Chain A
Amino acid sequence: MKFIKLLLGLIVTASIILIFLPSCSDNSVNETGNKSKESCLKESGLKEIKLTEEAKKSALGEIIDLVVYDAFLAPEGVFERFKDETGITVNILTTADTGTMVSQAVLTSGNPVGDVMFGIDNTFLCKALNNDVFVPYKPGTWNELREELKLDASGRVVPVDYGDICLNYWKDSFSISPTTINDLATSNFSGQFVTQNPETSAPGMGFLLSTIAVFGDDWEDFWTELRSNDVAIRSGWSEAYYEDFYSKDRKIVTSYATSPVAEYIFADPPVEAPPTAIITDSCFRSIEFTGILRGTDSPIASAMLVDFLTSVYFQEMIPETNFVLPANVNAKLPEVFLRFLEDVPNAVSISPDDIDANRNTWTERWTELVLR
C-alpha cells in the first residue's frame, strides 16, 4: 500500500510539472490577430538565404524533409533525379489538409518538422507569414515565375503552381448551359447546384470567396437567393462530386478548372472528350507556394530544393499528378491539358490580408445564412 501511495504521489507531481513546464518554456505560440492591421506581405526583416556555387557543394549528402498536404502525390522518380543532380536526398512528410499543415507549421515555427513546405495557398498565407514560419529565398528561377503569382515580393514564399476553383457541369444535361455565377440563382437551375462547406473544404472556401469578390457587400443576398433556389451543401469535395454530381441528382458542382481533364484521363472506358465542362466566369484563383521553413538545419540544401521545385523539369511533371498548372512560364503543359483545359481569362481573387482579417466573420455569417 505504501508503495502505491508513493507511486501515486510521484505521478501527480510528475504530471503537474510536465503540464506547467511548457507554459514557462521558450516554445511560445505567437498570437495572431494583433498584427492584422499591418499587411502580412510587408518587409519582414528576416535574413535572406544566398546560394553560392561553393555552398552548393557543401550540401552534398544531406537529407532534407519536404512537408506536403495529404492530397499531394509526388510524380514518379522526380526526387531520385534531384538526388542524382545534387546528392541531396528528399524525404516527403505528409500532413493532413492545407489548413492543418499550416497550423502545424505555426505551432512549430522556428523548430520546424521539415525543411521545405510545399502547397500553402493564398487563403492561409497570412497565418504563416504573421508567425514568421518561412525565411526569404529567391530561387534562380524567380524571373521565370508568373508575375501575378508572386504575392510576397521578399520571397518568403515562392509560387509553385496555381489552379482555378470553378463550377463544373454535365455537358449533356442542359439545353442552355449555365454561363455565369448569376445563373445559379435563376429558376432554370433551381435544385441543380451542390457546393461544399467553406470551413471543411478548400473548393467550398474558394467558391465563397468568389461570391464575395464578385458581389462585394451584397454577397449575403446572393447566398440567400441560392438557398431559396435549393442549393445543397456537403462537407467535402468527394461527397459533393461523387454522391450528388456523379448520380446526376445535382448537375452543377464546385470543383476545379482541371476536373474535366481528369475526367478524360481517368475515364473507363476511354472517352473522346470530357463529359463535363466548366463555367469560366467568376472562378477563384488558388495559388500554391513553397517556402523554406525557419529553423531548418539545411538552408542550402533547402534552397536548392526550391530551385528544383520551380524548375521547368519539375513544373512540367506536376500537372498530370496533381492537376494544377505550373507557375514557371517556360514550362509546357502536357498535351491533354492543351487539348481539353478551358482557358479562364479573368479569375477573381481577394488579397491574403483581407482573407485573413475576415475569414472567421465570413464563415460565421455563411453558416448562419445557409446552414441554420
Chain B
Amino acid sequence: MTGTYKTTALAFLSLLAFYLIFFFYPIGKILAIGLSFSSFEQAFTSVSIRKALWFTIWQATVSSALSVAIGLCISSVFVKSNFRFKRFLESLTFIPFVMPTVVVASAFISVNELLRLDNSPLNLQGSALGIIVAHIFFNTSIVVRTLTSTWPMIDFESEQAAQTLGANRIQIFFQITLPQLKSGLISAGSLSFLFTFTSFGVILILGGLGKATIETEIWRYATQRTEFETAAVLGIIQLLVVVAMLTINNKFLTTDSRNSNLLSKARYSHPVSKFRKSANTIFILGFFGFPFLVLLERSLRTPAGYSFAYYKQLLWENSAERFAIFGARKAIFNSLIWGALAMLIATVLGLIAAYLLTNKSKALSQFSGVFLMLPLGASGVLLGFGILISLNRGFFDFRSEWWIVPLAQGLLGVGIVARLSSNAIKKIDPTIRHAASTLGASSVTIWRRIDFPIITKAVIAGSAFSFALAIGEFGATSFLVRPQRPTIPTTIFNLLGRPGSSTFGQAMALSVILAVITWLVVSLLDRTGSLSSNDF
C-alpha cells in the first residue's frame, strides 16, 4: 500500500504546485492590496456594493436552480429513451457554450425586439429577467452534460424492483433515481453557480451597469477607475462566498451510493411518453436553436439577398487588400491549437485531481474539492492583474508568454474535468479493484483496465467542455497581456469594432464557424467516448 500512498502524495504535490504558481500566488498578491480595515469598512458601508452583492447572490442562486431543474428534465428524456436525431439534439444543447457572449447577448436583444417585449414585464434588456434567462441558456448545457454522463451509471435494477413492488413513477423518481443522481446534481449545480456568480459579459451587455454584480463592480473599479483597493476587497468577498458555497456542497458530496452492477443491461423502467419527447425536442430547438438561427440568418443576409458572400470573403478573399488586416484564416488555426492545448492541460491535471477528490481520506478529498474549483469562482479580472504583478521576476518571468493564455484556460477546465470524472470514479465498486489487486494487478494496470474504461465518457465530457471554454476565450484570458496573434474571438471582436455592412456580416459568419467547429469537435469526442465505453 505504500505505493498508493506515494502516488497520492506525488499527485497532490504536483497539482498543488501548479495551482500555487498559477492561481494562489497571483490572486493572493492582488487581493492583498485590499487587506486593510479601512478598505473593508468602506466597502461594507457602500450602498451600491451591498446592492451588487445581494443581486449577485440571488441571481446566481435562481439561475443555477432553474438551470438544474430544466437540465434534469432534458437529460431524463435523453437517458431513458432512444429516438432519431437524439445525438443531434444532445449536441445542440451544447451550442450556447460555443457562441461568443457578445453574439448571444445580441441574439437576445434581437429576440426582444422581434417579440416586442421592450415595454412589457417580460423585457429582457436591462432587467434581472434577461440576465437570468441568458444564464439559464448558458448553464443548462453544463447540467445536461453532467447528468447525461453520470445518469446511465446508476443502478436501474432497483428502479425496476421498485416498479415490480408497485411504486409509481413519482415515488421511483424521488426515492430511488434522484438520491442516486445526487452527486451529479450537486456538481452541476455548483458549476453553474460558479459560472453565474462570476459571469461578466452577459451582465455587462444585457444588464448595462444598471444591474451591477460583484464581478462587474470589480471590473469597473480595477480597470476604469484604477481603484485597486476597492476591487481587491470585492474580490475577497467574492472568494469567501465561493469557498462557503463549495464547502457546503462538499458536505453533501461525501456520502454516495455505489453501483456494484455496472454491467447490468437493464437501462430504464418506465418508458418516456411521446408527449415528453416532442416537448423536449421543441424546447431544445426553440430555446437553444433560436439564437443560433438568428446568427445564421444574419451571416447569410447580404444587401443583395441571401448568399455565402461573407463566408467567401472570410475564407477565400481574406488576402484581398481591404480585409487582409483581420487575418481570419490564421485566427481559425490559432484558436484550434490553443483550444487543443488547453484541453490537454485540463484533461491531464483534471484526471489527477479526480483521484484526489475520491481519496479515502475525507480531509484530503474535501479540501481538494474546494481548492480545485476556486479558479472558476475567482474574478477573471483580478487573476489577470495578479499574474501581471506576480509572475514577473527571475525564473517566474512569464506573465506575457504566449502559453500563459491556454494555461489559464486549462486551469479553468481542471475543476470541470475533475468534478465530472470523480462522479464516475465514485460509482466504481471498490471490490472489483480489490479483487484485481489480490490477483496481482499493479495500480497502473487497475487504473488502465478497470477505472479508465468506466470513466471515459465523463472525462471526455469534461475535456469537451474545457475545449469549448478555451476556444470561446472565456473569463480571465481577456485580462491577460498576450502576444498579438489573431484568434477567432479576437477577430470577431475586431470585425464588430469597425463600421461597414460586410464587417458585420463577416463577424456573424465567423461566429457561425466558431460554433460549428466547436460543435464538430465536441461531437467527435462524444463519439469516441461512447465507442470506448461500450467495452465494459
* Contact indicator per residue, chain B 209-222, by CB within 8 Å of chain A (1) or not (0): 11000000000101
Stretch binding the partner chain, chosen from A48-56, A100-108, A145-153: A100-108
- In the complex, A94 has a CB within 8 A of chain B: yes
Instruction: Tell me what chain B mostly uses at the interface: helix, strand, loop, or mixed.
Output: helix
**Contact among A1, A104, A127 for B385, CB-based, below 8 A:** A104
- In the complex, B76 has a CB within 8 A of chain A: no
List, in ascending order, chain B residues with CB within 8 A of A102's CB: 226
Chain A, residue nearest B223 (CB): A100
Name the distance in Å between A34's Cβ and chain B's nearest Cβ: 13
Q: Using a CB-CB cutoff of 8 Å, which residues 250-281 of chain B contact chain A?
A: none
| Given known A18-B25, A197-B209, A235-B209, contact A67–B481 (CB-CB < 8 A) | yes
List, in ascending order, chain A residues with CB within 8 A of B35's CB: 19-20, 23
Q: Using a CB-CB cutoff of 8 Å, which residues 287-325 of chain B contact chain A?
A: 302-304, 309-310, 313, 322, 324-325
Q: Using a CB-CB cutoff of 8 Å, which residues 359-378 of chain B contact chain A?
A: 361, 363-364, 367
- In the complex, A93 has a CB within 8 A of chain B: yes
A265 to B498, CA, bound (A): 11
Contact count band on A: 35 or more
B385 touches A18 (CB 8 A): no
- In the complex, B431 has a CB within 8 A of chain A: no
A32 touches B226 (CB 8 A): yes
B322 touches A92 (CB 8 A): no
List, in ascending order, chain B residues with CB within 8 A of A106's CB: 226
- In the complex, B479 has a CB within 8 A of chain A: yes
B204 touches A235 (CB 8 A): yes
A267 to B390, CA, bound (A): 46
- In the complex, A76 has a CB within 8 A of chain B: yes
Name the distance in Å between A101's Cβ and chain B's nearest Cβ: 9
List, in ascending order, chain B residues with CB within 8 A of A65's CB: 400
Chain A, residue nearest B492 (CB): A238
A22 touches B223 (CB 8 A): no
- In the complex, A239 has a CB within 8 A of chain B: yes
Stretch binding the partner chain, chosen from B58-66, B130-138, B502-510, B517-525: B502-510
A103 touches B20 (CB 8 A): no
- In the complex, A263 has a CB within 8 A of chain B: yes
Query: 13 A-B Cβ contacts within 8 A?
Result: A5-B363, A19-B32, A23-B32, A70-B478, A100-B479, A103-B385, A111-B392, A233-B208, A235-B205, A243-B110, A246-B501, A262-B503, A268-B309
Seen from chain B, the residues whose Cβ lies within 8 Å of a Cβ on chain A are 5, 9, 12, 16, 20, 24-25, 28-29, 31-33, 35, 102, 105-106, 109-110, 113, 204-205, 208-210, 220, 222-228, 302-304, 309-310, 313, 322, 324-326, 361, 363-364, 367, 385, 388-390, 392, 399-400, 478-479, 481-484, 490, 493-494, 496-505
The 6 closest A-B pairs by CB, nearest first: A266-B500, A268-B502, A92-B484, A100-B223, A19-B28, A262-B499
Other than the given A74-B484, A100-B223, 4 more pairs (CB < 8 A) read A3-B9, A7-B9, A19-B32, A96-B479
